[in-house]
């Protein structure tokens, strides 16, 4: 099929997917002809602009200074996926992110990525499992890993931030290669798990031939209510997770902890953040046989209130220097004590997961999808190193997955994801 034929089909109302199909791209996404994804999209110029629909129920805006999936409070369900990039050129990668920008706005508007076509002899442009559901506060967050910049065919080696490196091996790590690394990541968060999965599924489907799935993890949070406000969620050990987070509404605090400032990294990262992700197995059976007092000593907090040991309010200052009878009130090998020894902070966005039964042990395959955002990966590294081998929590957890990604800044109207990296 030549360019004139492609443009003619487009003017007649055929969707991009129908044209890709006609041009020789199979339903499994394998490019069969010579035109290719890049050439077909180039025939139409830039991806058409789609705006936020402010009349959508339970809508989160896509456009803004920062990616909304980092700012949004109280995410309930997550679908996190790490991808391998198979694009053959920087142009192909750019066009993929341009298409993902349009589709992301559509998805966050609660719409199909493309309207259904009258031609039912072709696959539907959207997989359709979210039809009838609203936007469900869907957010989509995108990042790129250090390995993406090592692909010579993309020619982006000189754009790699010096701080974007694979996370080091930490004490007690027992990483499973199935949950390590990645060239690109997508984090979808929503009130409804099917909405989150639908979003990731359709983004990956639209980029067949340019990305393949490396690893993924679902996650969930539940929030108790007090005085009409959502409380800090509890992890599967029943302790509150995220009490000491920075206030996402405080611009100064977020600039100090989360957002990369001009001159602190490559220019395309200004307004962005670094995402550290860890898949942590929690040994529930061992934990469940542990005395409550020992559990509290492990975390350094009371289980019922989330307050530091010896205090009654969750948000009381930890004051790790407190002593009674010459001994620290908060145990010196507790998780929180060791974390507070360093001045670094980060924004935690953790989710519990339960993936059935571990076939080797017959125990729960469950744990924590730990995600944190920080302006420099060293913040996370310093905190993780402070735990070392001394952290009492190590008796009950094992780190199985690990990756680091540079998350783009937000997208201005008329622009697209990662524009600074390509333009």
Looking at residue 11, its pLDDT comes to 40
pTM to 2 decimals? 0.89
How confident is the model at residue 216, as a pLDDT?
Answer: 98
Residue-level pLDDT at 12: 39
Residue 359 pLDDT class (50, 70, 90 cuts): confident
pLDDT of residue 46: 57
Res 33 pLDDT > 50: no
SS3 call for 143: strand
300-346 per-position pLDDT tens digit? 999 999 999 999 999 999 999 999 988 999 999 999 999 999 999 99
Report pLDDT for 42.
39
Tokens 């099917």 correspond to 194
| 8 A C-beta contact, residue 49 and residue 116 | no
**pLDDT tens digits, 60-114:** 999 999 999 999 999 999 999 999 999 999 999 999 999 999 999 999 999 999 9
Mean pLDDT, to the nearest integer, of 190-211? Answer: 98
Residue 358: the pLDDT is 87
Contact 97, 422 (CB under 8 A): yes
Mean per-residue pLDDT, 193-217 = 98
Mean per-residue pLDDT over the chain, rounded: 90
pLDDT at 48 (0 to 100): 83
- pLDDT tens for each residue of 220-265: 999 999 998 999 999 999 999 999 899 999 999 999 999 999 999 9
Please report the pLDDT score of residue 117 as a whole number: 87
- Spatial separation of the C-alpha atoms in residues 22 and 20, rounded to whole Å: 5
Q: For residue 75, give the nearest of 144, 140, 142 by alpha carbon.
A: 140
Nearest to 377 by CA among 183, 164, 169: 164
The 10s digit of each residue's pLDDT in 393-414 is 999 999 999 999 999 999 999 9
**Residue indicated by tokens 């200052």:** 317
Residue 19 — very low, low, confident or very high, per pLDDT cuts 50/70/90?
low
Mean pLDDT of 1-12: 45
Q: Is 141 helix (H, G, I), strand (E, B) or coil?
A: strand
Cβ-contact 80, 186 below 8 angstroms: yes
Does position 44 have pLDDT exceeding 90, yes or no?
A: no
pLDDT digits (tens, 9 = 90+) for 364-384: 999 999 999 999 999 999 999
């Amino acid at each position: 099929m030549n360019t004139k034929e492609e443009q003619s089909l487009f003017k007649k109302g055929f969707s991009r997917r129908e044209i890709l199909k006609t041009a020789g791209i199979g339903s499994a996404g394998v490019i069969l002809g010579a035109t290719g994804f890049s050439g077909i999209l180039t025939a139409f110029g830039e991806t058409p602009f789609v705006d936020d629909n402010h009349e959508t129920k339970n809508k989160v805006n896509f456009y803004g200074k920062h990616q909304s999936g980092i700012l949004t409070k109280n995410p309930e369900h997550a679908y996190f996926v790490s991808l391998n990039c198979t694009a053959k050129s920087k142009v192909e990668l750019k066009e993929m992110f341009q298409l993902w920008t349009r589709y992301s706005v559509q998805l966050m508007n609660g719409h199909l990525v493309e309207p259904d076509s009258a031609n039912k002899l072709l696959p539907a442009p959207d997989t359709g499992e979210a039809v009838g559901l609203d936007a469900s506060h869907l957010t989509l967050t995108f990042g790129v890993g250090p390995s993406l910049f090592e692909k010579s065919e993309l020619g982006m080696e000189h754009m790699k931030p010096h701080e974007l490196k694979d996370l080091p091996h930490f004490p007690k790590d027992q990483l499973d290669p199935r949950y390590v690394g990645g060239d690109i990541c997508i984090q979808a968060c929503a009130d409804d798990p099917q909405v989150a999965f639908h979003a990731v599924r359709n983004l990956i489907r639209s980029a067949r031939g340019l990305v393949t799935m490396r690893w993924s993890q679902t996650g969930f949070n539940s929030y108790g209510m007090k005085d009409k406000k959502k409380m800090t969620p509890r992890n599967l050990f029943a302790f509150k997770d995220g009490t000491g987070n920075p206030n996402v509404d405080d611009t100064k605090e977020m600039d100090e902890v989360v957002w990369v400032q001009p001159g602190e990294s490559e220019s395309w990262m200004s307004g962005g953040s670094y995402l550290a992700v860890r898949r942590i197995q929690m040994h529930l059976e061992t934990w469940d046989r542990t005395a409550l007092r020992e559990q509290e000593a492990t975390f350094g907090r009371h289980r019922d209130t989330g307050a530091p040991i010896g205090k009654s309010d969750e948000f009381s200052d930890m004051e790790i220097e407190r002593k009674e009878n010459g001994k620290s009130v908060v145990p010196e090998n507790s998780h929180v004590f060791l974390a507070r020894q360093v001045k670094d902070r980060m924004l935690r966005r953790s989710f519990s997961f339960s993936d059935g039964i571990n076939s080797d042990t017959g125990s729960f395959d469950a744990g924590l999808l730990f995600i944190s955002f920080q302006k420099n990966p060293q913040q996370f590294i310093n905190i993780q190193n402070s735990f070392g081998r001394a952290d009492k929590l190590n008796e009950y957890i094992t780190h199985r997955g690990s990756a680091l990604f540079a998350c783009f800044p937000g997208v201005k109207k008329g622009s697209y994801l990662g524009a600074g990296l390509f333009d």
